[in-house]
Structure 1
């Protein structure tokens, strides 16, 4: 089931999570009780709630004493009873502070010198793990001492020990398998995180300035750029992408479909280009517009869509169905044009929207929800039978199809369920006299929903109301598939807490992330921040009981942005941080490179760092191609570098220019094996890499000028030429070939055959000779208009020519990739425009930029 991330953002549009002021606290009139709370009989809006407390003011939230709630009756006045409150009582001498004065058993008489057992930790933790009871001694006046000495109560899990420090029955639960940090001088923000079925991790967010991702340095074009990064289950960067121009663009949410494709939703201004084809280029209609892009598992553009109108449109969350259809939720004002399929218009200020797209990106349907005030969908998740759950907030009224929901003066929370066709199934809304916002939602295979949000004073979708501490507190509510409230749990302290993301497993366990400043209790005892906002990850049982909670932070601010669950039982936590942060009790401390950097932490019940690496200096390093040695599990990467870089065998030779090619090999555990460099006096771009069965490595790409391979050079013609180079299993150069003319050509895919030879595909313009005579393009358009033909070339293991062919038609054709099937036959894919001839005597015909797949002997 798809899981949404949180709603956090710093976009110019209104952000309810960051707005601590909320709205009016209306809904209460008449005489005020203690602390400004309403007295019985005061006027109110029927069926709303307000906090109440009848005990002495200095005892509220001391010891077991807690406020309750007063219900507004049908006659519009508050009830006499304060439901759920706990007020001071006489001490029973059982070790608890029943009179709520901050001291336990201080008036109990005892025999001087006697000793009684005591324990101040949470229930069910005594004699679990490190937790042990202590003793209280009766003094000479017959009073038990207030302090329970020698007791050991729960503390945060210390991942450097093998002790159950939080006394929940598990050792080192939620300790990181690995942690990773990415950043540079500017601010980097991961707004969403998702995981595929193989355990790979994808983060999506915003890049400002420069940042390094696994050795690849990326720099934003001016404002914020869209950022997407994919990492392996062990935390190694597989690929990274950025998109943007000089204005502001940001990815806000990410999801992964069953095929490993990555779907990203966000907001942009100006122009946004995901590729070179016409359908990959988008321009906003003036203000903030929504984009949705689908990338392949390898990070290549599949399709993209943009939607805008007269006002501002912001995508907050995205979810994907098993069929590959995507659902996007957010907010907009004015009008929003959905590819001409439907036009929706807000009814007042900002309204919520839900948009469903087919798997090819075309709109299926869209819904608008809202009234005259500000309304927004902040989370979306898909459930069984194609159902869609959304969560967010509304200001005055909102109508999903059943009875309308009307607020009581502040910001109200909602959760609603729609069918796969957008029809109304059920909805829940608060009507309270304070501020509530549902910020994220998750749905499991049974159709249960877990909702995360923030509230002030009182919170309820139904059932027993939750009471907060007066500031912004957190709530988690679990509902069944029919919308019935199963349980609700409040969390917080006396400072403001901020919600991150929520996720739920099929067994009903709930995970959520948050930010806490000061002290807060999530069920396992007080958690204290190290300074400003710290990140907290929490796991609850299917019934809402605390299982574990972990805090990460330092004196600076840390933000929780995304949370995703892995099939293995592990979880991925994403956010941003400044300063130094430690996820694992030694050896895993990470320091930001400037201001806010991205962090990723993989949490596991067994705990332990596997491995992670960082390479480079303040100059630019960029990996461009990756291959795997299937016989050993080793990894080979190729890229370019500028400045000093050490992959584990010492600094590579100083580059002759700013474009120096490297090829580096690591074993299956990440240890460096060898590195080779190809010096270049002008330009080089590695584009593809593959490892042969004997461990030798082929790398291909384009270059200009002279490229040094071992003791010899290859020379280009006037434009970018193709190069193919081979090194042996120890990295020693064997040979290099160049092919070109005065036009543009490139390498897009390579595959090694069983005999150690290499098959290469790519694109070319003009006549080119790969060693077997001229290959003439079939295209008739101008190469200056990005007009190319595809080629297919095979070289023997020693680099000699075996065959070469041009493939194309009258317009633009590209071979994109190639692979061998188990029978040794070739599979080739690419794009063509209008027609392409594979030598069958009858060309294939189509439209502009259609896909082809061919199988060759």
Structure 2
């Protein structure tokens, strides 16, 4: 890892403070999004290597650890860090900040005991092997374990989201799954979906998908303050949802499916993609609406509107009302990686990494020769208010994005070709910055 590129490029925002995870030797890592609560910054990830977590907890190369940290929003000082060793760790994500704290989930296949909790045992799945049981952990604002449990959910293909009052939305892969009320059998093109309470107990559950020969693959969920759940998925063929007939042809294409607080189907939307691999990531906004965003290739039809150009990379952001109606569509024909969206008083903030040149609507930005970071603010109609580029000789990728009192909290990883790496074993793995105008 390298330095922090926040002051280079066409800088509108500049750093107020920065904090780092530093490591030596070879390190495996994965980080979830970053969250703001009570004016401070919370984040989590996994580390498999010798690292110092913001000057606090030290991790070792012999075992993988789930780490979490709280940084003071005012100056970036470390409030606390924790590291839980998880043997047989597979997969990880931070679902969000709920009523009891930071919700973390991942997969494991060997017993482990999080600090302050009881021993968690993996579940025996009868329909497939190897298998990874999902663990659900909540770390309270003081760094203590609020709750932990093992779910009869295969981690592969599972995705979670949490709303501020604590309700958790989860979609599982096409495996035997039991959220608590009884098992769902493994079915091709069918995915179990549920809402859980803050402790991980089932509120409602259902099965969603298409009948063969249609192919359906669930991707991610988001849950808004009304406890309405939005599911993004891919569909090739036809299906029925909430009385809507959905049909995609030739290529597997994105669909969005909306469930109300009781789990009843509400609304569906199908988008026709010209190429495979278009996956949309949902985000619930504070007013109850949603944004779905992702990177695709070629064209994408949203109703009568077609965006993109054949053979050209496409980044897409679509705002949906709380009832699933399309409010606006924003398309960028550029090769963008790690596309992130958050909301702020200025409007929606887009962030990502790009190579070469990108035009965000207020003039082109050109990278410094490697992957650079961009930021852009959109008004309520989806038009660009401003944009900026930040970059240097490193490849810079966004890992997380959040808003704090009108400022931005950004986590990033910087990397350089090994032959051009600086001398010495120590390096910055993850950089966290508070950016202000």
With the shorter chain as reference, the TM-score category is 0.7 to 0.9
Q: How does 1:127-142 map to 2 (within 5 A)?
A: none
Bigger RCO of structures 1 and 2 (CA < 8 A, at least 6 apart): 2
Would you say the 8 A contact 1:501–1:563 is kept in 2?
Answer: no
Would you say the 8 A contact 1:402–1:424 is kept in 2?
Answer: yes
Deviations 1:318-375 (A, max 9, x none): 311356x11112333333431251232243512333211222122222233346x663
Deviations 1:459-485 (A, max 9, x none): 567654533224332121221111111
Q: Does 1:495 align with 2:271?
A: no
CA distance, structure 2, for counterparts of residue 402 and residue 238 of structure 1:
49
CA distance change for structure 1 residues 416 and 327 in 2, over 3 Å: closer, same or farther?
Answer: same
- Could you say which residue in structure 1 is the equivalent of 2:402? none
Would you say the 8 A contact 1:501–1:561 is kept in 2?
Answer: no
Query: Matched residue of 2:160: which SS?
Result: strand
- Could you say which residue in structure 2 is the equivalent of 1:551? 331
Would you say the 8 A contact 2:308–2:333 is kept in 1?
Answer: no
CA distance, structure 1, for counterparts of residue 274 and residue 218 of structure 2:
20
Q: Does 1:315 align with 2:96?
A: no
- Work out which of the residue numbers 169, 172, 195 in structure 2 matches 1:417: 195
- Work out which of the residue numbers 539, 547, 572 in structure 1 matches 2:319: 539
- Could you say which residue in structure 2 is the equivalent of 1:601? 376
CA distance, structure 2, for counterparts of residue 276 and residue 492 of structure 1:
48
Higher percent of residues as strand: 2
- Could you say which residue in structure 1 is the equivalent of 2:351? 574
- Could you say which residue in structure 1 is the equivalent of 2:110? 334
The structural deviation recorded for 1:572 is 1.5
The structural deviation recorded for 1:511 is 1.4
Query: Matched residue of 1:256: which SS?
Result: strand
CA distance change for structure 1 residues 414 and 260 in 2, over 3 Å: closer, same or farther?
Answer: farther
- Could you say which residue in structure 2 is the equivalent of 1:591? 366
Would you say the 8 A contact 1:266–1:314 is kept in 2?
Answer: no
Q: Does 1:382 align with 2:163?
A: yes
CA distance, structure 1, for counterparts of residue 262 and residue 34 of structure 2:
27
CA distance, structure 1, for counterparts of residue 302 and residue 331 of structure 2:
11
Deviations 1:397-418 (A, max 9, x none): 10001232223235x4343211
Deviations 1:719-755 (A, max 9, x none): xxxxxxxxxxxxxxxxxxxxxxxxxxxxxxxxxxxxx
CA distance change for structure 1 residues 577 and 416 in 2, over 3 Å: closer, same or farther?
Answer: same
- Could you say which residue in structure 2 is the equivalent of 1:212? 5
Would you say the 8 A contact 2:31–2:93 is kept in 1?
Answer: no
Query: Matched residue of 2:322: which SS?
Result: coil
**TM-score, normalised to structure 1's length?**
0.41
- Work out which of the residue numbers 50, 60, 71 in structure 2 matches 1:295: 71
- Work out which of the residue numbers 466, 482, 497 in structure 1 matches 2:262: 482
Would you say the 8 A contact 1:383–1:447 is kept in 2?
Answer: no
Structure 1 residue ranges without an equivalent (≥5): 1-207, 217-231, 620-668, 671-857
- Could you say which residue in structure 1 is the equivalent of 2:307? 527
- Could you say which residue in structure 2 is the equivalent of 1:193? none
Would you say the 8 A contact 1:284–1:308 is kept in 2?
Answer: no
CA distance, structure 2, for counterparts of residue 333 and residue 422 of structure 1:
19
CA distance, structure 2, for counterparts of residue 538 and residue 239 of structure 1:
32
Would you say the 8 A contact 1:316–1:377 is kept in 2?
Answer: no
Would you say the 8 A contact 1:328–1:380 is kept in 2?
Answer: no
After TM superposition, the structure 1 stretch with the greater mean CA deviation from structure 2, 575-584 or 415-424, is 415-424
Structure 2 residue ranges without an equivalent (≥5): 126-130, 395-435
Query: Matched residue of 2:80: which SS?
Result: strand
CA distance, structure 2, for counterparts of residue 239 and residue 446 of structure 1:
35
CA distance, structure 2, for counterparts of residue 547 and residue 463 of structure 1:
21
CA distance change for structure 1 residues 400 and 284 in 2, over 3 Å: closer, same or farther?
Answer: farther
- Work out which of the residue numbers 457, 460, 468 in structure 1 matches 2:248: 468
Would you say the 8 A contact 2:225–2:288 is kept in 1?
Answer: no
Instruction: Give the length in aligned residue pairs.
Output: 383
Would you say the 8 A contact 1:572–1:603 is kept in 2?
Answer: yes
Query: Matched residue of 1:212: which SS?
Result: coil
Query: Matched residue of 2:158: which SS?
Result: strand
